[in-house]
Amino acid sequence: MKTLEKQQPLSTSSSQTRQYYIDWIRVLAFGILIFFHTGMFFVYWGWHVKNNELTEVLEIPMEWLHLWRLPLLFFISGVGVSFAMKSKTAGAFIAERSKRLLIPLLFGVLVIVPPQVYFERLQRHQFEGSYWAFYPKIFEFQAYPDGNTSWHHLWFIAYLWVFSVIATPLFVLLKNRNSEGFWQFFQKIVSQPLGLLLWAVVLASAYWFLHADWPVFQNLVSDWYNFTVSIMLFVLGYLIGKTPIAWNTMEKHRRSYAVLSLFIVAFRFSYDTLFGSIPEDTIWMTIVNGLLTMVSLWSTILAIGGYAKHYLNFTNQALQYSNQAVYPFYILHQTITVALGFYLADVSLNLWIKYILIAAGTFGISWLIYHYLIRPFRLTSFLFGLKK
């Protein structure tokens, strides 16, 4: 009988304990956020600042990205926890997560996010004056959008901390030898391509019961659909992170998962173009829509995992550098994007040139701040959640 200790390590060989494709997925997933949030400046969807010319063209790829970009981040965060908890007690794990998540969150709310609110108020003519005249308003502690205090894009950090605290007792239980039966059962399921895919049905259950009644997003206290799907993916990431055979299944069947994902996307796009959105006026259509959404989402994540394992299980200096830089980049990037967008909004330039300037500027300025102001100093490294 296999022991739990033999099931836990995520490795493909006895000599390699770190799976570099996990790092690559994390770096690339966060990198996508810069392109996505740059696009938000140019589409008709609501966002903090807007260009003087908008387009629907970007909405098509962004709608697809929006389906899986955040689920992928929660999933890969759960995978990371499966490594982090190997040598930590529950108390040590929560203490480490609190230091790396809550301190950057507080720093971000007080320092990083306020300029975003300021530029939004200026563009919407809701405030006139300098930033220093505006800044004290965040200490009125009235929640955005009515007030000026917000975590904006840093909501992900808040949720990740909450998920870590809630799920820690489960993760500790699953480290116990008495859970060996569960691990054998789980391993048997995820060793089959259909068994691995069927976790989409578990995700779909959240859609069926919560999607219609909880449309609010990112405020933690009345966001039960997004909250539930996200913590499910976080826990799934932990389970799959400790089950090497699941990654082998992803790699072996990566093309099938990718084809399935793209087929559903093409079908829904064609249907929406011809007939409008799939109606949910009956319970059966709600079931169908939930299944399509979650099978598409989950098969995309499985395809990404499979292709990453097949092609990206290597390291180099770029990965080593990026793996440290990605967290500060995430914290910084949206404020830089909003600021650049505000100053370029009324400039007479082609929309696509503006997109390139803002995306490149966000990467470049984030790198300058990280490399010269965060990375070399203990205080700034601490505030941005970097490991020693």
Closest CA to 41 of 359, 379, 381: 359
Identify residue 248 by its one-letter amino acid code: N
pTM for the structure as a whole: 0.93
| C-beta of residue 279 within 8 angstroms of C-beta of residue 285 | yes
**Cα distance between residue 255 and residue 383, in whole Å:** 41
* pLDDT at site 106: 98
pLDDT of 271 reads 84
Residues of the chain with pLDDT under 70: 1-16
Provide the pLDDT for residue 14. Answer: 34
Residue 144 to residue 333: CA distance in whole angstroms: 20
Secondary structure of 21-90 in HEC code, one letter for each residue:
HHHHHHHHHHHHHHHHHHHHCCCCCCCCCCCCCCCCCCHHHHHHHHHHHHHHHHHHHHHHHHHHCCCCCH
Q: Residue 362: its pLDDT value, please?
A: 98
How far CA 16 is from CA of 35, 324, 353, 374, in Å, comes to: 33, 20, 44, 31
320: left (phi over 0), alpha (psi -120 to 50) or beta: alpha
Predicted pLDDT of residue 2: 37
Phi, psi of 323 (to 5 degrees): -65, -30
